[in-house]
Amino acid sequence: MTYIKPVLYFVLLAAQAFAQAQDLPRVHILATGGTIASTGDNGLLTAADLTSAIPELEHVAEISIEDFVTIPSSRMTPEIQFQLAQRVNELLDSTDVAGVVITHGTDSLEESAFFLDLLVNNPKPVVFTAAQRPPTRVDTDGPKNLLNAVLIAANENSRGFGVTITLNDEIHAARNARKTHSTAVEAFRSAGTGKLGYVDEGNIYYLWKPTRRVHMSPETIQPRVDLIRLVAGSNGHLIRAAVQSGAKGLIIEVFGRGNVPPEAAAELSSAIEQGTIVVFSTRTGDGRVILYPWAREMGVISGEDLDGLKARMVLIAALGQHSDTKAIQEIYTQLSGSVAN
């Protein structure tokens, strides 16, 4: 009997540890490639490679993994982003999934994250993370960013914040986040609002909650939406070329609050007459555009305060379920946070 008790004790401990593990929330990791997975020789690590390098994950959540795509994010497309949104919706519909983490390259991260914020309407957390420095470097930021992302996704208090992005211990709302530096670990910033929250010593702190959100459920998308920035001397030839090559929508980054050279305005008028949807966004990167009378009469849509990249993602989704410019304008207006007088 003197030997049975210690054996039973350790069996009990093992059973308790197993039960505790079973009680951990399940976080599903979708890997898509990017610098966080880059080996430096054109190779990319798998989701299994990424998670096996972070043993601390097993204390945070029950992890399931999936290699969705394995590409540099400069090769991301609207079609892949749409498929990613559909997959995330499927996962979140599962009762045993507490949240989803997506590893992604930083090049197009802000576009993918915002696109999913538009298309995912489940309160469970969806967290994008990435790295500015690859795992081959001694100062790689990927493992810590991924651990933080899982911490956020596993926490039930992260519900209802929409799609978020975490790097460098910061949390940003997909609606506001922008990549502002090519290599710095603090590259992502949220103009106008500041960061959504942060992670400190394994604790999550939220500073505010996003309200300017819109949900869309298109059965298809329209990927042929081009983004054109006006510059000194713009005469409209890029607008004409885009329409001739089959663009169904155009996001025009205009000067200031809505200024367009006459030659470019004439090409926009022609584009709209041919059925192309035109949306204005300011090229300044912050602030709202307004539609001057000539633009309103022409049928231009205001992208409000969205930058060109995000205004494009809205139109790609909106053209999948709307052709009426008033309905599309309403989406941008809602995203602006406008309150009717």
State the catalytic residues: 35
Q: How far is it, in rounded angstroms, from Cα 302 to Cα 290?
A: 7
Torsion of CA 321, 324, 327, 332, to 10 degrees: 90
Identify the three-state secondary structure at position 246.
Answer: coil
Strand bridging mode 170-173 / 177-179:
unpaired
For 156-183, the three-class secondary structure string (H helix, E strand, C coil) is: HHHCCCCEEEEECCEEEECCCEEECCCC
Q: Torsion angle of alpha carbons 55, 59, 61, 65, nearest 10°?
A: 10
Short-list 321, 64, 340, 313, CA closest to 216: 321
* Structural contact between residues 275 and 269, judged by C-beta atoms closer than 8 angstroms: no
Tell me how far apart the alpha carbons of residues 255 and 289 are, in angstroms, rounded to a whole number. Answer: 9
